[in-house]
Amino acid sequence: MIASWRRIPEANRGYIVAMASVAAAAIAVFVLRDFLSRSTFVLFAAPVAIGVFVGVGLLVVHLNGLIRAARADAQRYASQMEEQAMELEETHRALEASASAQLAEAQSLARLGSWEWDIAGDKVIWSDEMYRLYGLEPGSEVIDFARYQSLLHPDDRDQVADVVARAIENLEDFSYDHRVVRADGPVRIFHARGRVIVGPDGTPIRMLGTGQDVTESRRAEAALRNATEYAAKQASAEAAARHLNRVFAQAPVVIAVLKGSDHTFELANASALELLGAADVLGKNVKEVVSDDVLTAFGSLLDNVYTTGEPFVGRELPARFPGGPEAATRYFNFVFQPLSDEAEVYGVLVVATEVTDLVGARIKAEQAQNEAMGASRAKSDFLARMSHELRTPLAAIIGYGELLADGITGPVNEEQKKQLMRIRWSANHLLSIIDEILTLARMEAGKERVDAHDVEVPQLLESVASMAEPLAAAKGLRFNLDLQPDEITVMTDPVKLRQVLLNLISNAVKYTDSGAITLSSHAADGQVHFHVDDTGIGVSPEHIEKIFEPFWQVEQTTTRRAGGTGLGLAVTREFVDLLGGSISVESEVGRGSSFRVTLPRA
Ligand code: ADP
């Protein structure tokens, strides 16, 4: 009860007491109205009224005092509040100043500036640090986009314009590196970041961002990258060197590097050590390592390469080295290559390849070839001599046969004449065989020579035709000479070419019973082609390759009937080879054959 009374403010408590006193006096007057006579009432009421008045007066005085005290309190509070507000404002201002100083400090430390770009008004607000980063006095000039562009490195301007345009179009954040040419000279690398701010209608109105000078960190990154790349390159170079060393050590050829005028071994691979029969030669000079023989053979050559700088290449040189089989002479291909830096020759690279086996094989092959050639020559000589020995008596047989047949030595009857004709035919046949054997033998002995000169092809063909026509006519065959209107010449041996064509024509006549033989030629692509076509028995495909082999005939009975030797086409092909040409045949059994000879025109 007392506690709740105390909680009521003092002024209100005064009011409550005054009101309560008036109410108590009024209640007492009302209750006692019947007991009190009018006079008593008046007597009683007057002091009561006075008492009430005095009480109320005292109460009012007290209340006034209370109000004054409260007002004084309020004024004090107000001035305190004002003081506090001023203090707060001061603190706020100090804080603001220190925050922006800190921001500026932080920006300067980070070499980072901030900017804001009013896109529509094209006005850029830069922080002080931003100006400094561009080498300008803070606030010294108004920046717009064009001015900003002008401060960039010329090569980066288009790229920056692109990035900014894309950010505005796509409303996206951006970040990129670009170069700046600072007002005070140096080119610096900046990293820019930005964000587009859109208005209520969604269109871009401003752009905020930062620019940071990252030259040092980018350079450090590049240096790191370079260092990493260099390390990788070095590692791969080392691996390559190791590989090269392995190859060098295991190479199956002798490799050594000799340094200086006394030829000191600087490098020697396993093959070199093996050849020299030494475990270690490095640091020793050639005199200490190789035998006197070798030194005599190669010492002056090495000196020469070292002093002149001219390489030496020697093939199949005999040499004796301590390594390998004793006493045996071995053969080597040597290369002495001068080694020089920019200024002068400092050594000689020696590469030696052993070719003993090769030389041995070659010597054997040469011996075998010489023997074979000797044997072949002996055979050809024998054949040539034999042929010659056979020809002489044969010529006598033919001559005396003719004398007898002509009746010069006395009369001969018809039967004797017939037999003499057979003797003559057989003797002539034998003579042609001997001639062909003689030609082949001469050719194999390499005695056949080409006597080439410019030959008019039409003339040559006409002369061949004049010899061939009687042959064909004797068998009732037509002979055609198909001459081209233009003059063709060929550089060749006319005697051999005539022989080739006559051989082919006489075969054509031999193996054709009816129809025609045609001789023709044409020139194309620097070559002359000669054709001998017939309408004879032809050659089957399985025999076509064999007909050029000596003594080979398709069918004994036919050829014997026709009087062949099996040597004609062999001789023909040898002649064509000798003239630098080629021969081929196309044939169909029962329809005829076509032989083609091709010679180079020049
Ligand atoms: P030969 O003296 O027997 O004619 P060749 O070396 O000239 O010897 O010919 C070899 C064989 O090739 C002949 O025996 C013959 O069978 C065949 N031959 C060559 N020319 C012709 C041809 N024009 N027509 C058909 N067969 C041919």
453, 587 contact by CB (below 8 A): no
In this prediction, residue 265 carries a pLDDT of: 94
User: What is the three-class DSSP state of 15?
Assistant: helix
Mutate to test the pocket of ligand 1, among 539, 546, 588, 596 (most ligand atoms within 8 A of CB): 539
Residues 158, 178 contacting (CB under 8 angstroms): no
| DSSP state string for 235-279 | HHHHHHHHHHHHHHHH-SSEEEEEETTTTEEEEE-HHHHHHHT-S
Ligand 1 site, residue 500, Cβ cutoff 6 A: no
Q: Which two tokens stand for residue 368?
A: 């075998």
Q: How far is CA 469 from the centre of its chain?
A: 68
Which ligand 1 atom is at minimum distance from the Cα of 537? 25
Query: In degrees rounded to 5, what are phi and psi of residue 281?
Result: -125, -5
How many angstroms is it from 400 CA to the middle of ligand 1? 32
For ligand 1, atom 11, name the residue with the nearest CA: 553
Which pLDDT score is estimated for 573?
93
| Ligand 1 binding pocket includes 568 (Cβ within 6 Å) | yes
CA distance 128 to 113: 7
Q: Is the pTM of this model over 0.75?
A: no
**Predicted pLDDT at 460:** 94
DSSP string spanning 528-581?
Answer: EEEEEEE-SS---GGGTTGGGSTT--S-HHHHHHHT--S-HHHHHHHHHHHTT-
Question: Using CA atoms, how far apart are residues 515 and 243, in angstroms rounded to an integer?
Answer: 78
For residues 209 and 119, give the distance between their C-alpha atoms in angstroms, rounded to a whole number.
13
**Phi/psi class of residue 6: alpha, beta or left (left: φ > 0; alpha: ψ in -120 to 50)?**
alpha
Q: Is the dihedral of CA 98, 128, 114, 206 positive or negative?
A: positive
What span, in angstroms and rounded, lies between the C-alpha atoms of 232 and 242? 15
pLDDT at 51: 75
Expressed in angstroms and rounded, the spacing between residue 550 Cα and the centre of ligand 1 is: 11
State in Å, rounded, how far the first CA of the chain is from the last one.
151
pLDDT, tens only, 174-224: 888 999 988 787 889 999 999 999 989 888 999 999 999 889 888 899 999
What's the pLDDT score for residue 563?
61
pLDDT along the chain (602 residues), means of 10: 69 70 75 66 68 78 86 91 92 86 81 88 89 89 88 90 90 89 86 91 90 90 92 93 86 91 92 85 90 87 93 90 70 92 89 90 92 82 79 87 86 89 85 81 78 92 92 94 85 93 94 95 92 95 88 60 74 93 95 96 86
CA 569 to centroid of ligand 1, rounded, Å:
7
| Residue 254 Cβ < 6 Å to ligand 1 | no
pLDDT of res. 15: 67
pLDDT at residue 35 in the model: 65
Cα dihedral 53, 56, 58, 64 sign: negative
**Which DSSP string do the residues of 287-304 spell out, in sequence order?**
HHHS-HHHHHHHHHHHHH
Q: How far is the CA of 427 from the centre of ligand 1 (A)?
A: 21
Query: 564 near 553, Cβ under 8 Å?
Result: yes
Per-residue pLDDT at 536: 94
Residue 565 Cα: closest atom of ligand 1: 2
Atom of ligand 1 nearest to the CA of 553: 14
Q: Which atom of ligand 1 is nearest to the CA of 554?
A: 16
Atom of ligand 1 nearest to the CA of 564: 2
- Provide the pLDDT for residue 257: 93
CB 557 within 8 A of CB 495: no
Q: How far apart, in whole angstroms, are the C-alpha atoms of residue 436 and residue 444? A: 12
